[in-house]
Amino acid sequence: MHLNRLQILFIILLASLLFFSCKKPVVLLIKPAPDLGEIQKRGKITVITKNNSISYFVYKAEPMGFNYELLKLFAQKIDVKLEILVVDDIDTAFSYLKNHRCDLIAMALNITPERLDQYSFSVPYLKSKQVLIQKSPSDWKAMSIKQSDNLLIRSPLQLAGKKVYIQPYTSFRENLEKISYITGKKVMVVDSADIQTEELVSMVSDGTIKYTVCNEIEAKVLQRYYPNIDISTPVTLPEDLGWAVNKGSDSLLQALNNWLSDFITTKKYKQLVRKYFNNPGSVKIMNSTFFSEKGNKISAYDNSIKKYSKKIGWDWRIIAALMFEESQFNNDTANYRSGASGIMQLMPATALRLNINATSNVDANIWAGIMYIKSLEKQFMDITDRNERIKFVLAAYNAGIAHIFDARRLTKKYGRNMYIWDDNVEYYLRKKSNRKYYSDPVVYYGYYRGEETYRFVRDIMERYQHFKNVIK
């Protein structure tokens, strides 16, 4: 009997069905969203926010921003470390949240019905309407309000047929599409991928584009920096703004809401609102070359740091974080208790060996400090993970290499990993102030107060992460 092709395919399909009917059903498991207990167990909350002049930025080597300061306080409240990730667009942020690459989105998100279908939102912590950003007439200061109004769009209905540039996947698109529906004439919405809202506002100011949309609270800050933009035309009524978590993160949301509900009634909250939204001094920050959104500079010595860091293959931003921790970039800094001096705070014996002294200039001090780092790194080449090795070098820079070797020997003796810093060697370095440990036979150099070195390494690595987030 000859079977045609269709019959053969039917037999194969039937055999497949019979085979799989004998098997247990396959159950697809969807990983639940991380909740508060899991976050506290891991000791860290991972949050996505935006790098802009309000939410999160670095100024004179210090991390700042309205959302950043709120996040620090919330992380302290739930007793975990704060890890910040920066993304440029909202679609990526929601994708990270959905795939559990973060626990929380801390942006000023418009709480829309469409978003509420997929995500849970905090209680509103701000309220703002959306406004049209357009360039004021060239001689607007000499005009009456009526004259300037005649040259500007003063009703969202007038946007019909106009091109409005926005970031993709924002709620700005939804509201502009509503205007198209109401007027029957399409607003030409142009998605500007990889361009932040602040950059779009800048493009309106310099005449590259005519229109964009922005939340009014942000627009008022940007208007101080771009005084020729007009922000007086509302596109929406005031809307609630909040943070987003995954559906299922119920205890995280409850903890966040309990904290936010209390915090927004406090004097501290009002101070932060004034600091970031109603502060005339923000123009000084935004004009500074040490503002991460503008100058991409950490210090006045970046060129020297970059030049010498290349010689040892280190990311220059780690060296910058170390220098800030040691001296806040002040070459005149002297520690009279330890004798360390200069921008790199080298000890006298180390400085002498590297041929520098109190009269040496900044460049020589930076070179000497980096050469000292190079010599320390050679002592830890058995640590193959470069990121781990960096932490050991930083610790030795602060404590001296002998105490770190003591801590490694203790770590090995007590069955932990002598090649890992966090929760391993750092743990036993902190134990060296306890007689049980500093009297141990494997400890050659006695008592040491390791808490300072623990904080030293932790603070440098945290600052370095902020630099990586916003400094190219």
Mind telling me the catalytic residues? 326
Distance between CA atoms of 325 and 457, rounded to whole angstroms?
10
Closest CA to 167 of 189, 201, 187, 191: 191
Instruction: Give the 3-state secondary structure of residue 235.
Output: coil
Q: Please give the single-letter amino acid code of residue 295.
A: G
Closest CA to 397 of 433, 346, 356: 346
Neighbour-count burial for 433-444, b at 16+ CB within 10 Å, e otherwise: eeeebbebeebe
Helices 451-470 and 386-399, packing angle to 10 deg: 130
Element (H, E) at 388: helix 386-399
By residue count, the chain amounts to 472
Instruction: Give the 3-state secondary structure of residue 229.
Output: strand
Longest Cα–Cα distance in the chain: 102
Distance between CA atoms of 292 and 340, rounded to whole angstroms?
30
431: left (phi over 0), alpha (psi -120 to 50) or beta: alpha
CB atoms within 10 A of CB 363: 15
Structure tokens at 371: 């050469």
C-alpha 422: how far from chain center = 21
Element (H, E) at 63: strand 62-64
Q: Using an 8 Å Cβ cutoff, are 45 and 83 in contact?
A: yes
| DSSP result, 325-361 | HHHTT-TT-B-TTT--BTTTTB-HHHHHHTT--TT--
